[in-house]
Amino acid sequence: MTKESQGTETLRITTSDDLEVSTYLEIAKQKAGEQPIPAEAPEADRETVLVIDFGSQYSMLIARRVRECHVYSEILPYDAPWQKIASLKPRGFIFSGGPGSVYEPGAPLAPAYIYETHLPILGICYGMQVLAHQLGGRVALGTRREYGHAILHQGDVESPIFADLPASMPVWMSHGDQIVELPPDFTSLGYTENSPIAVMGNKHGFIGLQFHPEVSHTPHGKDILANFLHRICGCSGNWTLGNFVAESIERIRRQVGEGRVICALSGGVDSAVTAALVHRAIGDQLTCIFVNNGLLRRDEAERTINTFKRNLRMNIDYIDASDRFLGRLRGVTDPEMKRRLIGEEFISVFEGEAAKLGKVGFLAQGTLYPDVIESTTPESMASVKIKTHHNVGGLPTSMTFTLIEPLRYLFKDEVREVGLAMGMPEEMVLRQPFPGPGLAIRIIGEVTEEKLDILRAADWIVMNEIKQAKLYRELWQSFAILTDTKSVGVMGDYRTYGYLIALRAVTSEDAMTADWARLPYDLLARVANRIVNEVHGVNRVVYDISSKPPSTIEWE
Ligand code: XMP
């Protein structure tokens, strides 16, 4: 340990790493000499602040807020190895919240090497308690749990964390434990009615916030984060997605050289932007494969081909494998089985096509940051799997491609910005997400040609009416579901016995949670009317008014 951190005598160290070197920069230099710089190594002037995750549901939101302040951010688990941290050359750390209690045996704490960097640390909620506990303060169960709105009052001591902010402001709290004794050399910087120490700080840029600045219920939260990043970590805020595009193109060129790349297009935003970036970098060395699985919406295949072939001038292999997919799905009603069969069939078709192309060394994939985080979250912190969301599944080991994943560190809204920054058509970039297994998981029960026709016709009406009402972009998703319920109706003088269509429209930031959209009654009436009149076989329409959780967005 270094001299200065020895000064904080009560620092309880959770790892036994015996680092001799005084600053992390020296260690980073040494490490860089020992091993090749990873492909995603940062450019020299990229300002990075790392979110250290203690199991909070808000870690991703914190990273997003940091990036909105034009400082690059990644999330690492609390026990991330030193080499990983050093390779990112951070300018500061944010300790996330978490469900634990720091005084319980085995509670996650920060490794000593983070403190030994002497870089600023912002602890949020549990993260603040980690700071207090490890640096010699005391955390205990509060007299009552504090959840929801509170008014924060600044203390008498001024701190850059509150620069240009009002003396009192609303904040969002969610905690049971609280700081009952400050660590040595810390001062209290703010309080609420229930938390006498709601904010604390020391002169080395260690700050603790008992509330959550990252959620929208803390209206000045983003200013507080910006103060930490700009005034305490000294970041100028020079990270933009424009820089990102230029950096990625350079990196792809270096990685691929003269090699060839394939990319599976799905018609969705992620694979489209991936393909566009790779194409911008290496042109005709890229071949895209577009598999029509027979589960697409009306005109979707034609539109996708048009955009990529005519507008963006890419090499595209189009394969109509509808019969193969529908054959596999015959008689299958279980949602997870549908996903598995579609995934397997996709791999089989893709493998066959790739083999025809001869020697190809690289596979470009539109993996996004939330997928990466999910797959690297420690077992103990991972949430239960509700649905398998992987379209392409794991590729078989016999396919030995090197992966290119240029969007690996981006969030969905950032991917859209990248697409727009590259001049891609809005129609493609601002599309609502569409699941990989397509209409198969919007048909409850067995998938048949007849049901696909019914759902395509209903879906077309929903999409058109939503677009006409200029609500398409405001909604996260809006679509129709063909249920397996039939009910009695009357048309003219005849009794009908037809399908029930459900409408689903939700607002969401990231699909983790979603609220049902309060669509105007007139719009709902128009959609229902048109579906019943224009779609043969349907005589009833209902609107789904459940939110996620406890429901999910898709019905299967
Ligand atoms: P749920 O239904 O879990 O959906 O609330 C959340 C988001 O994920 C999409 N989704 C999928 N996407 N393959 C995909 O590529 C899937 O199997 C799948 N299942 C759901 C869904 O459309 C929503 O945006």
Bigger pLDDT: 423 vs 503: 503
What is the average pLDDT across 11-25?
32
In angstroms, the CA 274 to CA 374 distance is 20
The token pair that represents 86 in the structure block: 């050093």
Atom index in ligand 1 nearest the CA of residue 477 equals 24
If you take atom 19 of ligand 1, which residue's CA is the nearest one?
389
Ligand 1 centroid to Cα of residue 219, in Å, is 30
- pLDDT at site 173: 92
Q: Which atom belonging to ligand 1 lies closest to the Cα atom of 266?
A: 15
- Region of 257 please: left (phi>0), alpha (psi -120 to 50) or beta: left
- Whether residue 13 is predicted with pLDDT greater than 90 in this model: the reply is no
Q: Output 399 or 348, whichever has higher pLDDT.
A: 348
Told to judge if 288 belongs to the known catalytic residues of this protein, a careful annotator would answer no
Percent of the chain having pLDDT more than 90? Answer: 72
Decide if pLDDT at 98 tops 90: yes
Query: Given a cut of 60, is residue 511 above it in pLDDT?
Result: yes
Ligand 1 nearest atom to the CA of residue 436, by list position: 15
552 CA distance to ligand 1 middle (Å): 9
Three-state DSSP class for residue 189: strand
Give me the percent of the chain exceeding a pLDDT of 70.
Answer: 87
Residue 321 C-alpha to ligand 1 middle, in angstroms? 22
CA distances from 162 to 67, 91, 382, 418, 527 (A): 20, 20, 34, 33, 50
The pTM score is 0.76
Q: State the distance from the centre of ligand 1 to the C-alpha of 390, rounded, in angstroms.
A: 9
The model's confidence at residue 14, banded by pLDDT at 50, 70 and 90, is very low
Q: Which of 360, 183, 179 is nearest to 264 (CA)?
A: 360
Residues sharing a CB contact under 8 Å with residue 396, sequence separation 6 or more, in sequence order = 347, 351
Q: Which range is least confidently modeled, 6-20, 155-169, 293-307? A: 6-20
Q: How confident is the model at residue 254 (pLDDT cuts 50, 70, 90)?
A: very high
Catalytic residue among 133, 175, 212, 279: 212
- Which amino acid type is present at position 120? P
Count Cβ atoms within 10 A of the Cβ of residue 490 and give its class: 0-12 exposed, 13-18 middle, 19 or more buried: exposed
Helix (H, G, I), strand (E, B) or coil at 473: coil
- Note the pLDDT of residue 372: 76
Ligand 1 atom with the shortest distance to the CA of 555: 2
pLDDT at 510: 77
Average pLDDT over residues 378-389: 54
Higher local confidence (pLDDT), 142 or 287: 287
Contacts of 329 (CB under 8 A, 6+ apart): 338, 341, 342, 440, 446, 447
Atom of ligand 1 nearest to the CA of 387: 3
> How far from each other are the two terminal CA atoms of the chain, in whole angstroms?
53
8 CA from centroid of ligand 1 (Å): 48
Q: Which fold, 448-543?
A: GMP Synthetase; Chain A, domain 3 (3.30.300)
Residue 6 pLDDT greater than 80, yes or no: no
pLDDT at 9 over 60: no
| Residue 68: C-alpha distances to residues 62, 172, 491, 556 (Å) | 10, 20, 54, 34
Query: Where do the domains of the chain lie?
Result: 2-232, 241-429, 448-543
C-alpha 443 to ligand 1 mean position (Å): 14
* Residue owning the nearest CA to atom 14 of ligand 1: 435
Q: What is the four-CA torsion angle of 250, 256, 257, 258, rounded to 10 degrees?
A: -140
Q: Are 96 and 124 in contact (CB under 8 A)?
A: yes
Write the residue with the smallest CA distance to atom 12 of ligand 1.
435
Q: What angle do CA 536, 432, 416 make, to 5 degrees?
A: 160
Cα(338) to centroid(ligand 1), Å: 13
Nearest CA to ligand 1 atom 16: 389
Residue bearing tokens 């959620």: 215
Question: Ligand 1, residues 431, 546, 554: which to mutate, most atoms within 8 A of Cβ?
Answer: 554
Task: Answer yes or no: is pLDDT of 386 > 80.
Answer: no
Residue 22 has pLDDT above 70, yes or no: no
Q: Which amino acid is at 493?
A: D
Q: Which of 387, 444, 478, 510 to mutate to test the pocket of ligand 1 (most atoms within 8 A of CB)?
A: 387
For ligand 1, atom 4: residue with the closest CA: 553
Beta-sheet pairing, 494-507 with 477-491: antiparallel
Across 92-106, b (16+ Cβ under 10 Å) vs e yields: bbbbbbbebebeeee
Nearest CA to ligand 1 atom 22: 435
74, 214, 417, 556: the active-site residue: 214
What confidence tens digit (pLDDT) does each residue in 414-450 have?
A: 999 999 999 898 988 999 999 999 999 999 999 999 9
Q: Ligand 1, residues 389, 434, 547: which to mutate, most atoms within 8 A of Cβ?
A: 389
Cβ within 8 Å of residue 365, ≥6 positions away: 263, 264, 271, 274, 392, 403, 404, 405
CA distance 436 to 428: 16
The residues near 50 (Cβ < 8 Å, ≥ 6 apart) are 73, 74, 75, 76, 85, 88, 90, 92, 93, 94
344 is catalytic: no
SS3 361: coil
Q: Does domain 2-232 have CATH number 3.40.50.880?
A: yes
What atom of ligand 1 comes closest to residue 508's alpha carbon? 24
* H or E stretch covering 542: strand 538-543
Q: Are 406 and 449 in contact (CB under 8 A)?
A: no
Confidence at residue 388, expressed as pLDDT on a 0 to 100 scale? 63
Name residue, tokens 């609107």. Answer: 543
Most confident of 301-310, 351-360, 426-435, 469-478: 469-478
Going by pLDDT thresholds of 50, 70 and 90, the confidence category of residue 39 is: very low
Q: Does the active-site annotation cover 125?
A: yes
pLDDT at 405 over 60: yes
CB atoms within 10 A of CB 467: 12
Ligand 1 centroid to residue 122 C-alpha, Å: 34
User: How many CB atoms within 10 Å of residue 516?
Assistant: 17
Q: How far is the CA of 71 from the centre of ligand 1 (A)?
A: 30
Distinct helix (H) and strand (E) counts, the chain: 17, 18
Question: In this structure, which residue's CA is closest to atom 9 in ligand 1?
Answer: 435
Count of positions (residues) in the chain? 556
Residue 555 identity = W
Handedness of CA 69, 71, 75, 78 (dihedral sign): negative
The string of DSSP codes covering 273-317 is: HHHHHHHHHHGGGEEEEEEE-S-PPTTHHHHHHIIIIIIS--EEE
Mean pLDDT of 514-527: 97
CATH architecture, range 241-429: 3-Layer(aba) Sandwich (3.40)
CA atoms of 306 and 235, how far apart (whole Å): 43
Residue nearest to atom 10 of ligand 1 (CA): 435
Q: Tell whether the model's pLDDT for residue 17 goes beyond 70.
A: no
Cβ-contact 116, 76 below 8 angstroms: no
- Give the pLDDT band of residue 42 (cuts 50, 70, 90): low
| Residue appearing with tokens 């991972």 | 382
Domains 241-429 and 448-543 share a fold: no
* 554 alpha carbon – ligand 1 mean position (Å): 6
Nearest ligand 1 atom to the CA of 554 is: 2
**243 falls in which pLDDT band (50, 70, 90)?**
confident
326 phi/psi in degrees, rounded to 5 = -65, -35
CA atoms 426, 392, 350, 360: torsion sign? positive
Contact residues of ligand 1, CB 6 A cut-off: 339, 387, 389, 391, 433, 435-437, 477, 511, 548, 552-554
Token reading at 259: 């090699």
Mean pLDDT for all residues in the chain: 88
Question: Which of the residues 69, 125, 233, 235 is marked catalytic?
Answer: 125
Whether residue 382 is predicted with pLDDT greater than 50 in this model: the reply is no
The protein residue whose alpha carbon is closest to atom 17 in ligand 1 is 389
Residue 311 has pLDDT above 90, yes or no: no
What's the confidence (pLDDT) of residue 7? 32
Instruction: Check residue 35 and give left, alpha or beta (phi > 0: left; psi -120 to 50: alpha).
Output: beta
Identify the three-state secondary structure at position 171.
strand
